[in-house]
Amino acid sequence: MDIMERIKQAIESNPVILFMKGTPEFPQCGFSSRSSQALTACGAEFAYVNVLADPEVRENLHRYADWPTFPQLYINGELVGGCDIIMELYENGELKQMVEAAS
Protein backbone atom coordinates (compact mmCIF):
# COMPACT_ATOMS: atom_id res chain seq x y z
CA MET A 1 0.00 0.00 0.00
CA ASP A 2 1.23 3.50 -0.87
CA ILE A 3 2.36 5.56 2.15
CA MET A 4 -0.22 8.29 1.51
CA GLU A 5 -2.94 5.61 1.43
CA ARG A 6 -1.62 4.15 4.72
CA ILE A 7 -1.75 7.57 6.35
CA LYS A 8 -5.24 8.25 5.00
CA GLN A 9 -6.49 4.86 6.16
CA ALA A 10 -5.08 5.38 9.67
CA ILE A 11 -6.76 8.79 9.93
CA GLU A 12 -10.10 7.61 8.54
CA SER A 13 -10.15 4.43 10.67
CA ASN A 14 -9.73 6.23 14.00
CA PRO A 15 -12.01 8.99 15.29
CA VAL A 16 -9.08 10.43 17.29
CA ILE A 17 -5.49 9.76 16.26
CA LEU A 18 -2.24 11.38 17.34
CA PHE A 19 0.89 11.11 15.21
CA MET A 20 3.62 11.54 17.79
CA LYS A 21 7.23 10.86 18.65
CA GLY A 22 7.17 7.83 20.92
CA THR A 23 4.08 6.42 22.61
CA PRO A 24 1.67 7.87 25.19
CA GLU A 25 3.41 5.70 27.82
CA PHE A 26 6.94 6.61 26.63
CA PRO A 27 6.85 9.88 24.66
CA GLN A 28 10.12 10.83 23.01
CA CYS A 29 9.65 14.61 23.00
CA GLY A 30 8.05 17.16 25.28
CA PHE A 31 5.49 18.27 22.71
CA SER A 32 4.27 14.71 22.14
CA SER A 33 4.19 14.15 25.89
CA ARG A 34 2.07 17.24 26.59
CA SER A 35 -0.28 16.46 23.71
CA SER A 36 -0.92 12.87 24.75
CA GLN A 37 -1.35 13.93 28.39
CA ALA A 38 -3.97 16.52 27.37
CA LEU A 39 -5.92 13.88 25.43
CA THR A 40 -5.69 11.45 28.36
CA ALA A 41 -6.82 14.17 30.79
CA CYS A 42 -9.90 14.66 28.61
CA GLY A 43 -10.72 10.97 29.00
CA ALA A 44 -10.16 10.44 25.29
CA GLU A 45 -9.65 7.04 23.78
CA PHE A 46 -7.22 7.71 20.98
CA ALA A 47 -5.06 5.84 18.54
CA TYR A 48 -1.49 6.88 17.98
CA VAL A 49 1.27 6.35 15.49
CA ASN A 50 4.87 6.47 16.70
CA VAL A 51 6.53 8.30 13.81
CA LEU A 52 9.97 7.36 15.14
CA ALA A 53 9.13 3.68 14.62
CA ASP A 54 7.79 4.30 11.11
CA PRO A 55 10.25 6.49 9.17
CA GLU A 56 8.09 6.37 6.05
CA VAL A 57 5.19 8.01 7.90
CA ARG A 58 7.56 10.49 9.53
CA GLU A 59 8.98 11.53 6.16
CA ASN A 60 5.60 11.87 4.41
CA LEU A 61 2.97 12.96 6.94
CA HIS A 62 3.85 16.63 6.46
CA ARG A 63 2.78 16.28 2.82
CA TYR A 64 -0.60 14.79 3.76
CA ALA A 65 -2.00 17.92 5.42
CA ASP A 66 0.78 20.42 4.79
CA TRP A 67 1.68 20.56 8.51
CA PRO A 68 5.44 20.50 9.15
CA THR A 69 5.81 19.39 12.77
CA PHE A 70 4.93 16.61 15.20
CA PRO A 71 2.74 15.81 16.97
CA GLN A 72 -0.28 16.05 14.71
CA LEU A 73 -3.79 15.43 16.03
CA TYR A 74 -6.66 14.40 13.78
CA ILE A 75 -10.26 14.22 14.95
CA ASN A 76 -12.90 12.77 12.64
CA GLY A 77 -10.45 12.86 9.74
CA GLU A 78 -9.62 16.55 10.13
CA LEU A 79 -6.26 17.96 11.20
CA VAL A 80 -6.67 19.80 14.50
CA GLY A 81 -3.04 20.87 14.76
CA GLY A 82 0.08 20.46 16.82
CA CYS A 83 0.99 20.83 20.46
CA ASP A 84 0.31 24.56 20.85
CA ILE A 85 -3.17 24.25 19.36
CA ILE A 86 -3.90 21.07 21.33
CA MET A 87 -2.88 22.76 24.59
CA GLU A 88 -4.93 25.87 23.83
CA LEU A 89 -8.00 23.73 23.09
CA TYR A 90 -7.38 21.71 26.25
CA GLU A 91 -7.05 24.78 28.45
CA ASN A 92 -10.27 26.38 27.18
CA GLY A 93 -12.25 23.12 27.40
CA GLU A 94 -12.81 22.69 23.66
CA LEU A 95 -10.57 19.61 23.30
CA LYS A 96 -12.73 17.61 25.71
CA GLN A 97 -15.85 18.58 23.75
CA MET A 98 -14.19 17.64 20.47
CA VAL A 99 -13.05 14.19 21.61
CA GLU A 100 -16.39 13.47 23.28
CA ALA A 101 -18.21 14.35 20.05
CA ALA A 102 -15.85 12.08 18.09
CA SER A 103 -16.33 9.05 20.34
Q: CA-to-CA distance for 89 and 66, rounded, in angstroms? A: 21
DSSP 22-45: B-SSSBSSHHHHHHHHHHHHTT--
Residue 42 counted as an annotated binding residue: no
The H-assigned helical ranges of 24-102 are 30-41, 55-65, 83-91, 94-102
Say whether 8 counts as a known binding-site residue: no
55 preceded by cis ω (within 30°)? no
Q: Where is the binding site, in residues? A: 21, 29, 58, 70, 83-84
Q: Where is the binding site for [2Fe-2S] cluster, in residues? A: 29
Q: Where is the binding site for glutathione, in residues? A: 21, 58, 70, 83-84
